[in-house]
Chains A and B, each alone.
Chain A
Amino acid sequence: MPEKKTFKITHNRKWCKNCGICVAVCPKKVFEIDRSDRHAIVNPQDCIGCQMCVEHCPDFALIVVEVKNE
């Protein structure tokens, strides 16, 4: 079985406005707006690298890259 790909999510807290769009578009429930109304990465291990959050974040606050295990 091919190894599951892993991805590194970088979140820029200075640019993020906690709007929740990434929460709404992510198919894998990787993000949450937490109890203090702040963006949180809760399930990074489930990320499939689809780039939905990156392409829909209006604040350029997310970068998702594949982690290559040598």
Chain B
Amino acid sequence: MRPDFLRCERLPNIWCPGCGNGIVLRALLEAIDQLQLDPDKVVLVSGIGCSSRAPAYTAFDNVHTLHGRAIPVATGIKMANPDLTVIVVTGDGDGSAIGGNHLIHAARRDVDITVVVFNNYNYGMTGGQASPLTPSSSITTTTPNGNLDRPFDLVKLAAGAGATYVARSGIYFTKHLVDHLKKAIAHDGFSLVDAVAQCPTYFGRFNKKGSAGQMVTSQKDWMVLKSVAEKKTPEELVGKTIIGEFVKIERHSPASAAAPKEQA
């Protein structure tokens, strides 16, 4: 990772000790570095949440928007200047709850942006409430007896809405994460990466997941590579989260996309 991609004068970051957001941010900066993108042509856009603070620690131009509204702002930036590489940094709450409608419609329109979901399974910033990605039975501030609802499968949601690149990874698997972030950013069309990270302060503590270190290394136990999962039975995959690339298809290009004729 290029050290000049960080705005060092803003560090240390405000995140709690052991928060996974810094690990995803590092992977994202590494991916941008490896792709050798022109730093002046990269824009990061975020909403509100602990994770949404990430762009402000980078040297790239960035916009810290309203809660849930990063995708419409990113869409506008991309429309106005298609030469830019536009990357959205969003939390699971920011991206799938209040911003969920923007997510599905940007996927449907196949807007050429990359959405990186810093997925810690709860609303960190506001004190650990449940999000649409909180697993069933998990304890959060708003589900003190265990979440009665089912979570969205973000990969299936994005795929169903029309995203043309969808992947999931976890912060333990840094090379895998960087690799899929690179593919997502390089993809021509709407891309989403579900980057599973830990919030030791709330989700971890409420659900007795152990120390930050244990939350990182335990991803080895509950995450399974897609290529390995394909050889397993559904029973063997109960409680496992599958990581890898799920969608990679040609950009949606409608027949009527020709430029409108100039008015006489």
- By a CB distance below 8 angstroms, the chain A residues around B26 are 55, 57-58, 60
A18 within 8 A of B: yes
Inter-subunit contact A56/B23 (CB<8 Å): yes
How many residue pairs link A and B with beta carbons under 8 A? The number is 62
Chain-B contact segment, one of A1-9, A21-29, A40-48: A21-29
Bound-state Cα–Cα, A20 to B19, Å = 11
A34 within 8 A of B: no
Q: Nearest-CB distance from A60 to chain B (Å)?
A: 6
- Residues of A41-70 at the interface with B, using a CB-CB cut-off of 8 Å, are 55-60
Inter-subunit contact A59/B13 (CB<8 Å): yes
Inter-subunit contact B21/A20 (CB<8 Å): no
Given contacts A56-B174, A57-B22, A58-B22, contact A15 B212 (CB under 8 A): no
Q: Nearest-CB distance from A33 to chain B (Å)?
A: 9
Contact check: which of B15, B23, B214 meets A24 at CB < 8 Å?
A: B214
Bound-state Cα–Cα, A56 to B211, Å = 14
B217 within 8 A of A: yes
Q: Nearest-CB distance from A52 to chain B (Å)?
A: 8
- By a CB distance below 8 angstroms, the chain B residues around A58 are 13, 15, 18-23, 26
- By a CB distance below 8 angstroms, the chain A residues around B22 are 57-60
Bound-state Cα–Cα, A60 to B26, Å = 8
- By a CB distance below 8 angstroms, the chain B residues around A57 are 22-23, 26
Inter-subunit contact A24/B213 (CB<8 Å): yes
B104 within 8 A of A: no
**Contact residues on A (Cβ < 8 Å of other chain), bracket:** 10 to 19
0 or 1 for each of B44-57: is its CB under 8 Å from A? (1 = yes) = 00000000000000
Bound-state Cα–Cα, A57 to B20, Å = 9
B216 within 8 A of A: yes
- Residues of B115-140 at the interface with A, using a CB-CB cut-off of 8 Å, are none
A14 within 8 A of B: yes
Residue in B closest to A52 when the chains form the complex, CB atoms: B174
Inter-subunit contact B17/A24 (CB<8 Å): no
Contact check: which of A17, A21, A24 meets B12 at CB < 8 Å?
A: A17
Inter-subunit contact B211/A24 (CB<8 Å): yes
- By a CB distance below 8 angstroms, the chain A residues around B174 are 55-56
Residue in B closest to A61 when the chains form the complex, CB atoms: B12
- By a CB distance below 8 angstroms, the chain A residues around B212 are 19-21, 24
0 or 1 for each of B20-40: is its CB under 8 Å from A? (1 = yes) = 111100110000000000000
Beyond A15-B12, A20-B212, 10 additional pairs, beta carbon < 8 A: A15-B11, A17-B16, A20-B213, A21-B213, A24-B214, A55-B23, A58-B20, A59-B11, A59-B12, A59-B13
Cβ contacts A to B, 12 pairs, < 8 Å = A17-B12, A17-B16, A17-B17, A19-B17, A24-B211, A24-B213, A24-B216, A25-B213, A55-B26, A58-B15, A58-B21, A59-B22
For the complex of A and B, 6 pairs with smallest distance between CB atoms: A24-B213, A58-B22, A19-B18, A17-B17, A19-B17, A55-B174
